[in-house]
Structure 1
Amino acid sequence: MNIKGGLNIATLTVLKFNTPRGAEDALAVVEDLSKRQLITLQDAAIVSWPEGKKKPETSQLTSMAGAGALSGAFWGMLLGLIFLVPIFGIVVGTAIGALSGSFADVGISDDFIKSVRSKVTEGTSALFLMTSDAVQDKVKEAFKGMDFELIASNLSKEEEDKLREAFAEE
Protein backbone atom coordinates (compact mmCIF):
# COMPACT_ATOMS: atom_id res chain seq x y z
CA MET A 1 0.00 0.00 0.00
CA ASN A 2 1.19 3.48 -0.77
CA ILE A 3 0.88 5.27 2.56
CA LYS A 4 2.68 8.42 1.42
CA GLY A 5 -0.42 10.07 0.02
CA GLY A 6 -2.39 9.40 3.18
CA LEU A 7 -5.59 8.94 1.17
CA ASN A 8 -5.72 5.16 1.19
CA ILE A 9 -7.63 3.56 4.03
CA ALA A 10 -6.80 -0.03 4.79
CA THR A 11 -9.54 -2.51 5.43
CA LEU A 12 -9.12 -5.61 7.51
CA THR A 13 -11.70 -7.92 5.98
CA VAL A 14 -12.71 -11.39 6.98
CA LEU A 15 -14.58 -13.53 4.48
CA LYS A 16 -16.14 -16.62 6.10
CA PHE A 17 -16.87 -19.67 3.93
CA ASN A 18 -19.00 -22.73 4.68
CA THR A 19 -16.31 -25.13 3.49
CA PRO A 20 -12.75 -25.72 4.73
CA ARG A 21 -11.39 -24.89 1.24
CA GLY A 22 -13.47 -21.80 0.42
CA ALA A 23 -10.88 -19.33 1.75
CA GLU A 24 -8.13 -20.76 -0.47
CA ASP A 25 -10.33 -20.44 -3.54
CA ALA A 26 -11.20 -16.84 -2.63
CA LEU A 27 -7.55 -15.92 -2.10
CA ALA A 28 -6.83 -17.00 -5.68
CA VAL A 29 -9.55 -14.58 -6.83
CA VAL A 30 -8.09 -11.72 -4.75
CA GLU A 31 -4.57 -12.41 -6.02
CA ASP A 32 -5.87 -12.27 -9.60
CA LEU A 33 -7.65 -8.97 -8.88
CA SER A 34 -4.43 -7.65 -7.37
CA LYS A 35 -2.40 -8.60 -10.46
CA ARG A 36 -4.95 -6.70 -12.54
CA GLN A 37 -4.59 -3.69 -10.18
CA LEU A 38 -8.26 -3.84 -9.16
CA ILE A 39 -7.38 -4.11 -5.46
CA THR A 40 -4.21 -3.61 -3.44
CA LEU A 41 -3.54 -6.80 -1.48
CA GLN A 42 -1.27 -5.82 1.37
CA ASP A 43 -1.35 -9.08 3.28
CA ALA A 44 -3.52 -12.11 3.95
CA ALA A 45 -3.97 -15.12 6.17
CA ILE A 46 -6.17 -18.19 5.89
CA VAL A 47 -7.90 -20.17 8.59
CA SER A 48 -9.20 -23.58 7.56
CA TRP A 49 -11.08 -25.78 10.02
CA PRO A 50 -11.60 -29.27 8.56
CA GLU A 51 -14.39 -31.48 9.92
CA GLY A 52 -13.27 -33.62 12.85
CA LYS A 53 -10.37 -31.36 13.87
CA LYS A 54 -10.28 -29.78 17.35
CA LYS A 55 -8.77 -26.54 16.11
CA PRO A 56 -8.27 -24.72 12.82
CA GLU A 57 -5.15 -24.67 10.65
CA THR A 58 -3.73 -21.23 9.88
CA SER A 59 -1.36 -19.90 7.24
CA GLN A 60 -0.07 -16.49 6.25
CA LEU A 61 0.40 -15.38 2.68
CA THR A 62 4.17 -15.77 2.53
CA SER A 63 4.81 -14.10 -0.80
CA MET A 64 4.10 -10.63 0.56
CA ALA A 65 7.10 -8.43 1.33
CA GLY A 66 7.92 -4.81 1.83
CA ALA A 67 6.20 -1.88 3.49
CA GLY A 68 2.67 -3.16 3.02
CA ALA A 69 3.14 -6.62 4.50
CA LEU A 70 2.50 -7.18 8.17
CA SER A 71 4.67 -9.49 10.19
CA GLY A 72 3.80 -13.03 11.10
CA ALA A 73 3.58 -11.73 14.68
CA PHE A 74 0.46 -9.72 13.79
CA TRP A 75 -1.33 -12.64 12.16
CA GLY A 76 -0.15 -15.06 14.84
CA MET A 77 -1.36 -12.85 17.66
CA LEU A 78 -4.67 -11.98 15.99
CA LEU A 79 -5.49 -15.55 14.97
CA GLY A 80 -4.31 -16.83 18.36
CA LEU A 81 -6.53 -14.34 20.12
CA ILE A 82 -9.52 -15.35 18.00
CA PHE A 83 -9.12 -19.12 17.87
CA LEU A 84 -6.85 -20.28 20.67
CA VAL A 85 -8.08 -18.24 23.64
CA PRO A 86 -10.79 -20.75 24.64
CA ILE A 87 -8.10 -23.44 24.90
CA PHE A 88 -5.90 -21.43 27.28
CA GLY A 89 -8.61 -20.75 29.86
CA ILE A 90 -8.42 -18.32 32.73
CA VAL A 91 -4.70 -18.72 33.46
CA VAL A 92 -3.69 -16.24 30.79
CA GLY A 93 -6.75 -14.00 31.14
CA THR A 94 -4.76 -10.92 32.09
CA ALA A 95 -2.34 -11.30 29.20
CA ILE A 96 -5.21 -11.86 26.79
CA GLY A 97 -6.96 -8.76 28.13
CA ALA A 98 -3.85 -6.69 27.46
CA LEU A 99 -3.46 -8.17 23.99
CA SER A 100 -7.12 -7.54 23.22
CA GLY A 101 -6.67 -3.94 24.38
CA SER A 102 -3.69 -3.43 22.08
CA PHE A 103 -5.75 -4.65 19.11
CA ALA A 104 -8.53 -2.24 20.08
CA ASP A 105 -5.94 0.55 19.84
CA VAL A 106 -5.50 -0.27 16.15
CA GLY A 107 -9.21 -0.54 15.33
CA ILE A 108 -9.79 -4.24 15.92
CA SER A 109 -12.53 -4.37 18.54
CA ASP A 110 -13.56 -7.12 20.94
CA ASP A 111 -16.87 -7.32 19.05
CA PHE A 112 -15.00 -7.99 15.80
CA ILE A 113 -12.91 -10.71 17.48
CA LYS A 114 -15.96 -12.32 19.13
CA SER A 115 -17.91 -12.20 15.88
CA VAL A 116 -15.19 -13.99 13.93
CA ARG A 117 -14.71 -16.52 16.74
CA SER A 118 -18.41 -17.38 16.79
CA LYS A 119 -18.76 -17.69 13.02
CA VAL A 120 -15.60 -19.52 11.96
CA THR A 121 -16.17 -23.02 13.29
CA GLU A 122 -15.46 -26.64 12.40
CA GLY A 123 -16.18 -27.32 8.71
CA THR A 124 -15.62 -23.69 7.65
CA SER A 125 -12.76 -21.43 6.61
CA ALA A 126 -11.95 -17.74 6.65
CA LEU A 127 -9.83 -15.44 4.55
CA PHE A 128 -8.30 -12.52 6.46
CA LEU A 129 -7.30 -9.71 4.11
CA MET A 130 -5.56 -6.38 4.56
CA THR A 131 -6.47 -4.44 1.42
CA SER A 132 -7.01 -0.97 0.02
CA ASP A 133 -7.85 0.75 -3.24
CA ALA A 134 -10.51 -1.76 -4.27
CA VAL A 135 -12.44 -1.12 -7.46
CA GLN A 136 -15.69 -2.10 -5.76
CA ASP A 137 -17.77 -3.12 -8.78
CA LYS A 138 -14.98 -5.29 -10.23
CA VAL A 139 -14.32 -6.98 -6.88
CA LYS A 140 -18.03 -7.62 -6.39
CA GLU A 141 -18.27 -9.07 -9.89
CA ALA A 142 -15.28 -11.38 -9.29
CA PHE A 143 -16.91 -12.80 -6.16
CA LYS A 144 -20.32 -13.28 -7.76
CA GLY A 145 -21.54 -16.81 -7.19
CA MET A 146 -19.20 -17.47 -4.24
CA ASP A 147 -21.01 -18.26 -1.00
CA PHE A 148 -19.45 -16.28 1.86
CA GLU A 149 -20.23 -13.97 4.76
CA LEU A 150 -18.42 -10.64 4.99
CA ILE A 151 -17.09 -9.33 8.28
CA ALA A 152 -15.15 -6.07 7.78
CA SER A 153 -13.46 -3.49 9.96
CA ASN A 154 -12.27 -0.28 8.33
CA LEU A 155 -9.18 1.20 9.90
CA SER A 156 -8.64 4.94 10.19
CA LYS A 157 -5.30 6.30 8.96
CA GLU A 158 -4.19 6.69 12.58
CA GLU A 159 -5.19 3.10 13.47
CA GLU A 160 -3.47 1.78 10.35
CA ASP A 161 -0.27 3.66 11.20
CA LYS A 162 -0.36 2.24 14.75
CA LEU A 163 -0.90 -1.25 13.35
CA ARG A 164 2.01 -0.94 10.93
CA GLU A 165 4.25 0.56 13.59
CA ALA A 166 3.50 -2.31 15.94
CA PHE A 167 3.67 -5.19 13.45
CA ALA A 168 5.20 -4.22 10.07
CA GLU A 169 8.34 -5.96 8.86
CA GLU A 170 11.47 -3.85 9.04
Structure 2
Amino acid sequence: MADLIAVIFPTEEKAEEVRNKILALQKDYLIDIGDAVIAVKNANGRVKLNQLMSTTAAGAAGGSFWGLLIGILFMNPLLGVAAGAASGAIAGALTDVGVNDAFMKGLTADKIKDGEAVLFVLVKRVTGDKVLEALKGVGGTILQTSLDHTREDALRKALDAVPDAPSAAGV
Protein backbone atom coordinates (compact mmCIF):
# COMPACT_ATOMS: atom_id res chain seq x y z
CA MET A 1 0.00 0.00 0.00
CA ALA A 2 1.28 3.46 -0.89
CA ASP A 3 1.51 6.40 1.50
CA LEU A 4 0.74 9.99 0.58
CA ILE A 5 2.87 12.79 2.03
CA ALA A 6 2.17 16.49 1.44
CA VAL A 7 4.71 19.05 2.68
CA ILE A 8 4.47 22.85 2.40
CA PHE A 9 7.57 24.78 1.30
CA PRO A 10 8.01 28.57 1.16
CA THR A 11 8.82 28.58 -2.58
CA GLU A 12 8.43 26.41 -5.65
CA GLU A 13 12.22 26.32 -6.01
CA LYS A 14 12.63 24.78 -2.54
CA ALA A 15 9.95 22.18 -3.28
CA GLU A 16 11.68 21.34 -6.59
CA GLU A 17 15.03 20.98 -4.77
CA VAL A 18 13.50 18.48 -2.33
CA ARG A 19 11.72 16.60 -5.15
CA ASN A 20 15.06 16.27 -6.98
CA LYS A 21 16.65 14.95 -3.79
CA ILE A 22 13.88 12.34 -3.51
CA LEU A 23 14.33 11.36 -7.17
CA ALA A 24 18.07 10.90 -6.51
CA LEU A 25 17.20 8.63 -3.58
CA GLN A 26 14.98 6.64 -5.93
CA LYS A 27 17.94 6.11 -8.26
CA ASP A 28 19.80 4.64 -5.26
CA TYR A 29 16.81 2.28 -4.63
CA LEU A 30 16.15 3.76 -1.19
CA ILE A 31 12.63 4.89 -2.07
CA ASP A 32 10.08 3.91 -4.70
CA ILE A 33 7.63 6.68 -5.58
CA GLY A 34 4.44 6.48 -7.59
CA ASP A 35 4.14 10.22 -8.10
CA ALA A 36 5.79 13.48 -7.03
CA VAL A 37 3.84 16.64 -7.84
CA ILE A 38 4.44 20.25 -6.85
CA ALA A 39 1.34 22.42 -6.41
CA VAL A 40 1.88 26.19 -6.42
CA LYS A 41 -0.63 28.89 -5.57
CA ASN A 42 -0.17 32.03 -7.66
CA ALA A 43 -1.17 35.63 -6.84
CA ASN A 44 -4.63 35.11 -8.39
CA GLY A 45 -5.30 32.26 -5.97
CA ARG A 46 -5.19 29.67 -8.75
CA VAL A 47 -3.31 26.42 -8.19
CA LYS A 48 -0.87 25.15 -10.82
CA LEU A 49 0.36 21.54 -10.74
CA ASN A 50 3.93 20.75 -11.79
CA GLN A 51 3.69 17.05 -12.69
CA LEU A 52 6.63 14.69 -13.09
CA MET A 53 5.24 13.24 -16.30
CA SER A 54 2.91 14.74 -18.89
CA THR A 55 0.24 12.16 -19.66
CA THR A 56 -0.81 14.24 -22.68
CA ALA A 57 2.67 14.04 -24.25
CA ALA A 58 3.00 10.33 -23.44
CA GLY A 59 -0.43 9.66 -24.96
CA ALA A 60 0.44 11.62 -28.10
CA ALA A 61 3.69 9.67 -28.54
CA GLY A 62 1.99 6.31 -28.09
CA GLY A 63 -0.90 7.33 -30.35
CA SER A 64 1.53 8.46 -33.06
CA PHE A 65 3.22 5.08 -33.04
CA TRP A 66 -0.01 3.11 -33.32
CA GLY A 67 -1.39 5.58 -35.86
CA LEU A 68 1.72 5.10 -38.02
CA LEU A 69 1.30 1.32 -37.96
CA ILE A 70 -2.39 1.54 -38.88
CA GLY A 71 -1.64 4.22 -41.50
CA ILE A 72 0.92 1.95 -43.17
CA LEU A 73 -1.72 -0.77 -43.46
CA PHE A 74 -4.08 1.65 -45.23
CA MET A 75 -1.34 3.28 -47.35
CA ASN A 76 -1.56 6.67 -45.61
CA PRO A 77 1.00 6.81 -42.78
CA LEU A 78 0.90 10.61 -42.33
CA LEU A 79 -2.84 10.64 -41.76
CA GLY A 80 -2.42 7.71 -39.38
CA VAL A 81 0.26 9.52 -37.35
CA ALA A 82 -1.85 12.69 -37.12
CA ALA A 83 -5.01 10.83 -36.09
CA GLY A 84 -3.08 8.65 -33.64
CA ALA A 85 -1.31 11.61 -32.03
CA ALA A 86 -4.55 13.53 -31.64
CA SER A 87 -6.47 10.62 -30.13
CA GLY A 88 -3.51 9.69 -27.90
CA ALA A 89 -3.17 13.28 -26.64
CA ILE A 90 -6.87 13.43 -25.80
CA ALA A 91 -6.72 10.09 -24.00
CA GLY A 92 -3.58 11.20 -22.12
CA ALA A 93 -5.15 14.49 -21.06
CA LEU A 94 -8.14 12.63 -19.64
CA THR A 95 -5.95 10.14 -17.76
CA ASP A 96 -4.97 10.87 -14.16
CA VAL A 97 -2.23 8.68 -12.73
CA GLY A 98 -0.84 8.91 -9.23
CA VAL A 99 -2.35 11.45 -6.86
CA ASN A 100 -5.75 12.82 -7.90
CA ASP A 101 -5.38 16.30 -9.41
CA ALA A 102 -8.66 17.62 -7.97
CA PHE A 103 -7.63 16.48 -4.48
CA MET A 104 -4.25 18.26 -4.74
CA LYS A 105 -5.78 21.48 -6.05
CA GLY A 106 -8.51 21.52 -3.41
CA LEU A 107 -6.14 20.86 -0.52
CA THR A 108 -3.60 23.40 -1.75
CA ALA A 109 -6.07 26.20 -2.48
CA ASP A 110 -7.36 26.23 1.09
CA LYS A 111 -4.18 25.64 3.07
CA ILE A 112 -1.33 27.71 1.65
CA LYS A 113 -0.50 31.34 0.93
CA ASP A 114 0.30 32.83 -2.46
CA GLY A 115 3.78 31.84 -3.65
CA GLU A 116 4.05 28.82 -1.37
CA ALA A 117 4.29 25.32 -2.79
CA VAL A 118 3.19 21.87 -1.67
CA LEU A 119 5.19 18.79 -2.59
CA PHE A 120 2.93 15.73 -2.87
CA VAL A 121 4.81 12.41 -2.84
CA LEU A 122 3.13 9.04 -3.26
CA VAL A 123 5.54 6.58 -1.62
CA LYS A 124 5.25 2.91 -2.58
CA ARG A 125 8.25 1.58 -0.64
CA VAL A 126 10.91 3.24 1.49
CA THR A 127 14.05 2.45 3.48
CA GLY A 128 12.97 4.80 6.26
CA ASP A 129 16.12 5.51 8.25
CA LYS A 130 18.31 6.25 5.22
CA VAL A 131 15.72 8.46 3.53
CA LEU A 132 15.05 10.40 6.74
CA GLU A 133 18.80 10.96 7.14
CA ALA A 134 19.03 12.27 3.56
CA LEU A 135 16.08 14.64 4.10
CA LYS A 136 17.38 15.89 7.43
CA GLY A 137 17.00 19.65 7.72
CA VAL A 138 15.37 20.36 4.35
CA GLY A 139 12.60 22.26 6.14
CA GLY A 140 8.96 22.33 5.25
CA THR A 141 5.75 21.86 7.18
CA ILE A 142 3.75 18.66 6.95
CA LEU A 143 0.31 19.43 5.53
CA GLN A 144 -1.11 15.93 5.40
CA THR A 145 0.09 12.32 5.40
CA SER A 146 -1.35 8.84 5.45
CA LEU A 147 1.51 7.69 7.69
CA ASP A 148 0.94 6.38 11.19
CA HIS A 149 1.73 8.77 14.06
CA THR A 150 5.16 7.30 14.77
CA ARG A 151 6.41 7.60 11.19
CA GLU A 152 4.84 11.05 10.76
CA ASP A 153 6.62 12.28 13.90
CA ALA A 154 9.92 10.86 12.63
CA LEU A 155 9.42 12.68 9.32
CA ARG A 156 8.55 15.94 11.10
CA LYS A 157 11.70 15.70 13.24
CA ALA A 158 13.87 14.99 10.19
CA LEU A 159 12.46 17.96 8.26
CA ASP A 160 13.04 20.28 11.23
CA ALA A 161 16.46 18.91 12.20
CA VAL A 162 19.69 20.79 11.63
CA PRO A 163 21.76 18.97 9.00
CA ASP A 164 25.00 17.42 10.18
CA ALA A 165 28.03 19.67 9.66
CA PRO A 166 30.78 18.23 7.45
CA SER A 167 33.49 16.60 9.50
CA ALA A 168 36.75 18.48 10.05
CA ALA A 169 38.86 15.40 9.28
CA GLY A 170 42.20 16.22 7.75
CA VAL A 171 42.27 19.81 9.02
Which TM-score tier does this pair reach, normalised by the shorter chain? 0.5 to 0.7
> Matched residue pairs, number?
108
**TM-score, L = length of structure 2:** 0.54
C-alpha contact 1:46 1:125 (8 A) present in aligned 2: yes
Offset, 1:136: 1.2
Where 1:24 maps in the other structure, the secondary structure is helix
The equivalent of 2:107 in structure 1 is 82
Code of the aligned partner of 2:105: G
The equivalent of 2:146 in structure 1 is 153
Distance 1:61 1:72 in 2: 12
The equivalent of 1:130 in structure 2 is 122
Q: Judging by fraction of residues, say which structure has more helix.
A: 2
The equivalences for 1:2-21 within 5 A come to: 9-21=1-13
The equivalent of 2:52 in structure 1 is 61
Offset, 1:35: 0.7
Distance 1:124 1:33 in 2: 24
CA deviation profile, 1:83-102 (whole Å, cap 9, x unmatched): 46xxxxxxxxxxxxxxxxxx
Offset, 1:26: 1.0
**What percent identity do the matched residue pairs reach?**
26
**Which segments of 5 or more consecutive residues in structure 1 lack a partner in the other structure?**
1-8, 66-70, 85-116, 156-170
Code of the aligned partner of 1:128: F
Offset, 1:147: 1.2
The equivalent of 1:164 in structure 2 is none
The equivalent of 2:113 in structure 1 is 121
Residue 96 of structure 2, aligned match among 48, 68, 72: 72
Offset, 1:77: 2.1
Where 2:106 maps in the other structure, the secondary structure is helix
C-alpha contact 1:60 1:72 (8 A) present in aligned 2: no
CA deviation profile, 1:60-96 (whole Å, cap 9, x unmatched): 210799xxxxx52653221233346xxxxxxxxxxxx
**TM-score, L = length of structure 1:** 0.54
Offset, 1:130: 0.7
Code of the aligned partner of 1:152: T
Greater relative contact order (Cα 8 A, min sep 6): structure 1 or 2? 1
